[in-house]
Structure 1
Amino acid sequence: MLWNFKPQARAFRYVGHKDVVTSVQFSPLGNLLASASRDRTVRLWIPDKRGKSSEFKAHTAPVRSVDFSADGQFLATASEDKSIKVWNMYRQRFLYSLYRHTHWVRCAKFSPDGRLIVSCSEDKTIKIWDTTNKQCVNNFSDFVGFANFVAFNPNGTCIASAGSDHTVKIWDIRVNKLLQHYQVHSGGVNCVSFHPSGNYLITASSDGTLKILDLLEGRLIYTLQGHTGPVFTVSFSKGGELFTSGGADAQVLLWRTNFDELTCKDIFKRNLKRLHFDSPPHLLDIYPRTPHPHERKVETVEINPKLDVIDLQTSTPPVVDILSFDSTTCLPPVSSWGPGGQWKPLLELYQRKVRRSADIS
């Protein structure tokens, strides 16, 4: 579904996958949308009223996550076939697979500079991969539960994991050390999202709540109650002024933040100076630099938007169905891809938009 925030504006429903859709993500420029499904395929959509798409058989088992690199050139996919695959968006081809996990891979994410990929699996490990030599360069193991979701912080020095054992952990990948360990949920944690400043982390849990953590002070500051069942996903907007959450109650909630005075441009400018994996620690990196657990005793502000926010859900929302008739044929095997191929119309359109955006900027 592609929603418009304007009142009474139409929403678009893209129909093409033959099973549950597990993950969606916009490209950095917003002119391409990737979706993963339990039908073992990944689709690339042009997010407009025509909804042109291209389908490729990415894996031999359900695909759990998709993630674009920050420059939009690459796409990482994670699957229950125990592999992570990386695809080139401009050259229209599969690049390589990463095999070291021994169980389903639930999530794979690029670092901000694209040099690393972090992945988590039901084999109870989190792995860091070097995209240059295609090797696993770091491994974090957990003996209690597995991570449902992982993400890099905005400057690429730390990763956060959302644990099935109800915990949230922050790891420093430069010194291979657990920095912070939060035990603030009473159910499995399904998703996390860093605020663009890197100072806050929001978590979504099966206990029906969202929690906002202040990473600089190392404490829980807000508990958000709006969903009536497990919360599966949460994500900050690009500038951090908004975030969205989605849950088993079939609702998408839109929230407004008031964390920082920094503008979006200031945040990006600051983080771009510190994108590299081997950069020295910076004063604005996460502190304290020693592990410390956080128990549930901490007093927090509880917020329930149901008390004062109008429910915008209607029984008959204006939705336009867009059927993907032009993408039912899969791409030929990777080995037989030549110049052009079935992706050509979609990718040419994408490349034109990328070039146009570059010219404008």
Structure 2
Amino acid sequence: MLTILIAFVIIGLVNLGYYLGFFKFAFAPASENVRPKMLPVSVIICAKNEADNLRNFLPLILSQDHPDFEVVVINDASADETLEVIEEFEALDPRVKIVDVQNNEAFWANKKYALTLGIKKAKKPYLLFTDADCRPETDQWLKEMSAHFEDQKSIVLGYGGYLINTRSILNKLIRFETLFTAIQYFSYASWGKPYMGVGRNLAYTSEEFFAQNGFASHLHVKAGDDDLFVNQAANKFNTALCLSPNGITRSVPKEDLKSWFRQKRRHVSIATHYKREHKLMLGLFYSSQLLFWLLFMVLVFTTFWQVALAGLALRWIVQGTVFYHSGKKFNETDLFWIFPFLELFLIWAQLGIFIANLFSKPTHWK
């Protein structure tokens, strides 16, 4: 039993070390004083069967407080009225540009192919990506994200959250997982090791895209247009973080656990294509999370139960500090009060996702 105790202490210290490292991001200023540069921006949206969402959210994109932007909307072989809806907006606003993508046998269900056509259509040198089911939190979103481009900064990571439903436990779980992921990729980027971003709120220059030869190195992977590109192209010199509450987007969340589980399987499968150092850092973190709880559940029923509870209490204090201050940045503080429950559920859900992906891989982006 002493061996288990020693293992618990070591694993706990490793996991605690990560959370202490997250303090740098958690206590970082929201960078609200970044001076807007009014750069020419192409907002790029890839839409597949998104007619209703485009009707609801495209007006919020077009009403952004920015003097020089266009919106390139890609119809990725939709089976609904997506193309007709885009054409309606194009007729009303010359800033709307259409890319109509037909099914291509060589690139079937490959979002990267559709996005590449949209990027080539874009006339502005600064590209800002979001999804058709996303809405900006404010009319300052475009201004806030583009303000972080500088001479060396060609990639900007933003926060892409989900619409809030305070009555839904599933909604809280989805938002907690999203916040937890954001804490990690923002923290790693602040350490000089950016490894991913989310396509709901991501920007980079067209020059950076073509310098990386686009998505060529991972075109065979159906998804990952956002995080695999960032994993390939981002470094400590060219990556900026937009932490302003005015720079947030929010998406429509899944309404049932099965749909969310399927979505997360696709996201997790992409991580196997990350650079080795990123896979090692992330693997160690998630392993330490799982092992901490497994060892805790063993020790709490032994004579070392007081040590186990003390370790859990210390961990919760540090975790709570990270989640509260990170949540304040993005208006997710309601998650703080139930984070122990959400973390436990998420750990076991991630284990289930990992096991499911061992037997089969998701093959479509939608």
TM-score by length of 2: 0.27
The structure with higher relative contact order (CA 8 Å, sep 6+) is 2
Larger fraction in helix = 2
Q: TM-score, normalised by structure 1?
A: 0.27
Asked which structure has the greater CA Rg, the reply is 2
